[in-house]
């Protein structure tokens, strides 16, 4: 068996003295593991970092075997991503939720979203927006997508500012006003047809609260899991940056 594909490194663990087992999210073969001989060595180690894009050739005697990867670097983002706390936490968290996808099942739209996120992850505010969109995409891919395009009560498609914590459906201002203390806030950058410019600190916190609630309820808790420490680390890094930016210059 042999195939060639491209993928993003999700994780690496050492195998034996010099090899590594590498987990990739590939374009045509989904989340897929393979052995890289010499992967623990100094020449290979820089390539096998989470967030890097690789070209790979996978070989095995039978399809169900682990198989081996021959790798070539395509886009080595890790050198930039791993220089900041939000980058370290962010890629670790994105990889952890990508692992929720079934193994060897292609999810090209998720790969494209992950690539787009990692290519624009330098600024912590922009990284937070990408992380929230990726969590929403994962919810939809796993069958728990939120209905944010029209009001769950009236069917309206405008003035959607709330989300029902029970149904995951958007709620318009008028319909939600009597129960606003029980509803989640839908940040403007997640509303259809609204530009993602001028995202506020509160918008980011609201977005993380929204996706975090539904990921925990529908995806993580049924598997006996909770949110990753990396997600908490990313949110803490974001909060510290927001607090620092709020201090007026002397």
CA distances (Å), origin 148, targets 6, 17, 85, 115, 152: 32, 50, 31, 24, 9
Using alpha carbons only, give the angle 123, 87, 31 rounded to the nearest 5 degrees. 120
What one-character-per-residue DSSP string does 2-69 give?
EEEEEEEEEEEEEETTTEEEEEEEETTTEEEEEEETTTTSTTTTTTSSTT-EEEEEEE-SSTTS--EE
Going along the chain from its start, the domains and CATH numbers come out as: 2-77 (2.40.50.140), 84-246 (1.20.1440.120)
Q: What is the DSSP letter of 188?
A: G
Residue 173, SS3? helix
Tens-digit pLDDT profile for residues 106-135? 999 999 999 999 999 999 999 999 999 999
Residue 38 region by backbone torsions, left for phi larger than 0, else alpha for psi between -120 and 50, else beta: left
* Residue 248 clears pLDDT 80, i.e. is over it: no
Angstrom distance (rounded) from CA 82 to CA 117: 15
Strands lying side by side in the sheet with 160-163: 147-151, 169-172, 160-163, 184-185
pLDDT digits (tens, 9 = 90+) for 159-213: 999 999 999 999 999 999 999 999 999 999 998 655 566 899 999 999 999 999 9
What is the band of 219 on the pLDDT scale with cuts at 50, 70, 90? very high
pLDDT at residue number 215: 98
Check if the beta carbon of residue 84 is closer than 8 Å to that of residue 228: no
Please provide the average confidence, as pLDDT, over all residues in the chain. 94
pLDDT digits (tens, 9 = 90+) for 50-101: 999 999 999 999 999 999 999 999 999 999 998 999 999 999 999 999 999 9
């Amino acid at each position: 068996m042999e195939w060639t594909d491209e993928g993003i490194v999700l994780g690496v663990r050492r195998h034996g003295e010099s090899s590594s087992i590498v987990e990739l999210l590939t374009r045509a073969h989904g989340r897929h593991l393979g052995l890289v001989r010499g992967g623990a060595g100094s020449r290979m180690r820089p390539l096998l970092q989470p967030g890097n894009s690789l070209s790979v050739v996978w070989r095995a005697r039978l399809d169900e075997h682990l198989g081996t990867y021959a790798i070539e670097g395509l886009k080595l983002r890790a050198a930039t991503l791993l220089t900041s706390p939000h980058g370290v936490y962010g890629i670790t968290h994105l990889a952890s939720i990508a692992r929720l996808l079934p193994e060897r099942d292609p999810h090209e739209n998720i790969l494209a979203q992950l690539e787009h996120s990692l290519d624009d992850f330098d600024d912590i505010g922009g990284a937070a927006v990408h992380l929230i969109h990726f969590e929403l995409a994962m919810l939809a891919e796993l069958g728990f997508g939120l209905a944010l395009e029209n009001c769950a009560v009236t069917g309206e498609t405008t003035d959607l500012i709330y989300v029902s914590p029970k149904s995951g459906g958007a709620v318009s201002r008028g319909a939600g006003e009597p129960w606003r203390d029980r509803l989640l806030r839908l940040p403007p950058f997640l509303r259809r047809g609204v530009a993602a410019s001028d995202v506020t600190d509160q918008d980011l916190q609201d977005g993380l609260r929204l996706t975090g609630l539904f990921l925990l309820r529908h995806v993580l808790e049924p598997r006996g899991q909770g949110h990753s420490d990396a997600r908490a680390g990313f949110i803490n890094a974001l909060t510290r940056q927001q607090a620092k930016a709020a201090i007026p210059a002397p």
